[in-house]
């Protein structure tokens, strides 16, 4: 009887011994995982743009990344988050001490000058070979294209280097040119008064889209004639006309004004860039300092 009990004990114990032995011998530690992946505040939008006094964010969410480094150009600054939404300016969030290099995984980059080819440099070191494919927009082909970040082995390190290109818009600055019908340009900065007869005409052109060192790219312009009053609230608009560029940034916006009313008047130009899905609206008003006196 004791022998039967002992045999049963061995039989019931045997599966436990076999199971435990299998776990110990076959278990393998999972391999480390490497995967390069960058997220951007533009999301799935292939056109990556921003504007002066606004910021753009990058985040290195790669698996197996050992070192992350971001390098930004002049007139750009790293910000300390979190950052409230809808601020007109973000200077108070500029990260101190000021540097053009950051090793943070996530960076918020503030722009203080427009540049249609603003380069943000990325550098990463990885435990193994990896790559990342993302879509961008080719303005020459006028179509989305794929770009690839691929690691290369340098002295035993898998290194990824890439430049992200952003289109940063300047703030709109209104700039008019005023001409007589014979083509003579009025030097309104140095001419305080001009006398005109009723029926006389002047040509006014918006130069806001061709200013040097400014890529604000305004969409439209409004030309206004207002009465000359000391208090702006008392001014009366005699004439107002808005012209559109309709997507053609090289289009010249020119208006010919006929002065039919006797009195003292001022000319104003309002240049605008309309709000888009990714950009806030920008506008500026220029009041011509010359007073135009119209007589009978």
Mean pLDDT of 246-266: 96
DSSP single-letter state for residue 16: H
Confidence at residue 14, expressed as pLDDT on a 0 to 100 scale: 39
* Dihedral sign from CA coordinates of 77, 80, 86, 88: negative
What the chain holds in terms of domains, given with CATH numbers, is: 38-169 (2.60.40), 176-295 (2.70.50.70)
**Measuring CA to CA, how many Å separate 109 from each of 165, 168, 200, 236, 280?**
13, 11, 52, 44, 17
* Contact between residue 107 and residue 70 where contact means Cβ atoms under 8 Å apart: yes
Name the pTM for this structure: 0.84
Q: Among residues of the chain, what percentage have pLDDT more than 70? A: 89
Q: Which comes out higher in pLDDT, residue 107 or 2?
A: 107
Which residues does residue 276 pair with via DSSP β-bridges, in sequence order? none
- Is there a contact between 3 and 11 (Cβ–Cβ < 8 Å)? no
Predicted confidence at residue 9, as pLDDT, reads 38
Whether 15 has a pLDDT exceeding 60, the answer reads no
Residues 110-124 have a mean pLDDT of 97
Per-residue pLDDT, averaged over 206-227, amounts to 98
Whole-number Å distance between alpha carbons of 243 and 223: 8
**pLDDT reported for residue 10:** 39
How far apart are the C-alpha atoms of 168 and 189, rounded to whole Å? Answer: 31
Residue 191 has pLDDT above 60, yes or no: yes
DSSP-assigned beta bridge partners for residue 161: 123
Please report, in angstroms and rounded to a whole number, the separation of the first and last CA atoms in the chain.
Answer: 137
pLDDT tops 60 at residue 231: yes
Q: In this structure, how many other beta carbons lie within 10 angstroms of the beta carbon of residue 50?
A: 23
Residues 105 and 90: their CA atoms lie apart, in Å, by: 20
């Amino acid at each position: 009887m004791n022998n039967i009990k002992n045999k049963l004990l061995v039989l019931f114990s045997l599966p436990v011994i076999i199971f435990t032995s299998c776990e110990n011998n076959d278990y393998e530690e999972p391999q480390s995982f490497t995967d390069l992946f960058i997220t951007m505040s533009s999301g799935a939008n292939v056109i990556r743009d921003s504007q002066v006094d606004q910021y753009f964010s990058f985040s290195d969410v790669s698996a197996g990344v050992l070192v992350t480094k971001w390098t930004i150009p002049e007139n750009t600054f790293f910000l300390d988050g979190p950052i409230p939404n809808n601020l007109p300016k973000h200077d108070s969030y500029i990260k101190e001490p000021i540097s053009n290099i950051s090793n943070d995984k996530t960076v918020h980059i503030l722009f203080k000058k427009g540049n249609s080819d603003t380069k943000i440099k990325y550098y990463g070191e990885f435990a193994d070979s990896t790559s990342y494919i993302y879509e961008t927009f080719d303005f020459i082909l006028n179509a989305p294209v794929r770009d690839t970040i691929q690691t290369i082995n340098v002295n035993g390190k898998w290194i990824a280097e890439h430049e992200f290109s952003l289109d940063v818009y300047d703030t709109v600055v209104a700039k008019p040119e005023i001409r007589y019908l014979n083509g003579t340009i009025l030097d309104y900065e140095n001419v305080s008064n001009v006398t005109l007869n009723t029926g006389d005409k002047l040509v006014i052109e918006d130069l806001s889209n061709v200013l040097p060192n400014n890529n604000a790219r305004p969409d439209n312009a409004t030309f206004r004639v207002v009465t000359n009053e000391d208090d702006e609230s008392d001014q009366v608009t005699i004439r107002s006309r808005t012209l559109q560029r309709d997507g053609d940034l090289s289009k010249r916006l020119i208006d010919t004004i006929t002065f039919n009313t006797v009195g003292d008047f001022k000319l104003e130009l309002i240049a605008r860039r309309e709000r888009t899905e990714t950009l806030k609206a920008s506008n500026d008003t220029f009041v011509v300092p010359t007073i135009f006196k119209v007589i009978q």
